[in-house]
Amino acid sequence: MVSSLESNYELSQINYTEEERKSKRMTKRIRTLENDLTMEKPLRDIREILWTNIIDSINDIWSFIQIIFEQTELVKLATEAIKKTREELVEKPEETTQLINFFNSKSKQHLEQWDIEDMSGTILEIKKVLTKKNLMLNLERRCQSIQEDIDDFMLKYDILRDKALPSPMVINDKLMNHGDYVEKLHKQAKSQASSSTLKALPTGKVLYDGLENLFYIEHEVKHLFTVQPNFEKYTEADEVYKKLIRMKIPNEEWWTSMTNIL
């Protein structure tokens, strides 16, 4: 009797162990089927492919992005120079015309009473005001043209950032080092790949919704620049900027002495 009970118990344990193995195999199989059903691996692979394409495209246009940011820095400097020039000129351009007309209407003897010995030299000194004003207006026009290109780029890039493309900027809106930005892109790609599990049945719409942002980024990065930027606008504006900051107009004391003659 005892032997029979022991035999039945051992058989029961064997059956239980076998059932437990079957259950584990079944659970593993179910998990595999679930993963296949949600297309987790294909989805992760697609994300990796899209991110690879995006990073390659960023590498291709990085020199153009650098141009945009160098132009941005120049526009900031130029805008400050234009502001200071406006403050410096104030009413001088209008007074310049009056002074030139006045001195051109006077003889050398008339001018000597105001201790003006060189009429031509004096007029040339006065005309520096008009030269500086023209440089300022020229620079302003060039900066407006450059700013349009910058705004167009920034508008497109802001949309891409909303779609999860990392920003290439660091503190004070400076452009990141190329290598650092590529590393940032790879981290973003790895992060998205590790969280690519779908939360619904993989219908066409669900798959599209899960990848739409990346498809958009992949396409738009290639078309960030309808016209490839170069340094032509930059160098022309920089030349005018340098002329503007080098141009010195008569000081206030001298200018006041001239306008007092009027």
The 10s digit of each residue's pLDDT in 129-172 is: 999 999 999 999 999 999 999 999 999 999 999 988 999 988 77
Identify whether residues 128 and 5 lie together within a single domain.
Answer: no
Identify whether residues 102 and 143 lie together within a single domain.
Answer: yes
Give the residue from 240, 234, 250 showing the smallest Cα distance to 82. 240
Identify whether residues 107 and 21 lie together within a single domain.
Answer: no
Identify whether residues 159 and 215 lie together within a single domain.
Answer: yes
Q: Report pLDDT for 234.
A: 95
Identify whether residues 60 and 25 lie together within a single domain.
Answer: no
Listed as own residue / partner, the contacts of 178-183 with beta carbons closer than 8 Å and 24 or more positions apart are: 178/62, 181/58, 182/55, 182/58, 182/59
Calpha distance 184→215 (Å, rounded): 19
| Element counts in the chain: helices (H) and strands (E) | 9, 0
Give the residue from 165, 155, 150, 135 showing the smallest Cα distance to 238. 135
Q: Report pLDDT for 207.
A: 62
The pTM of the full predicted model, rounded to 2 decimals, is 0.74
Identify whether residues 33 and 103 lie together within a single domain.
Answer: no
Listed as own residue / partner, the contacts of 193-200 with beta carbons closer than 8 Å and 24 or more positions apart are: 193/44, 193/47, 193/48, 193/51, 196/40, 196/43, 196/44, 196/47, 197/38, 197/40, 197/43, 198/38, 198/39, 198/40, 198/43
Identify whether residues 53 and 104 lie together within a single domain.
Answer: yes
| Contact present, 50 and 218 (Cβ < 8 Å) | yes
Q: Report pLDDT for 110.
A: 77
Joined tokens for residue 79: 């805008």
- Domain around 4: 1-38
Place of tokens 């009970």: 5
Identify whether residues 131 and 20 lie together within a single domain.
Answer: no
- What is the mean predicted confidence (pLDDT) over 225-247? 93
Identify whether residues 150 and 209 lie together within a single domain.
Answer: yes
Query: Exposed, middle or buried: residue 184 (CB in 10 Å: 0-12, 13-18, 19+)?
Result: middle
Identify whether residues 181 and 201 lie together within a single domain.
Answer: yes
Of residues 77 and 20, more confidently modeled: 77
Q: Report pLDDT for 22.
A: 57
Confidence band of 113 (pLDDT split at 50, 70, 90): confident
The structural domain count of the chain equals: 2
Identify whether residues 99 and 218 lie together within a single domain.
Answer: yes
Give the residue from 143, 137, 134, 139 showing the smallest Cα distance to 249. 134
Identify whether residues 240 and 121 lie together within a single domain.
Answer: yes
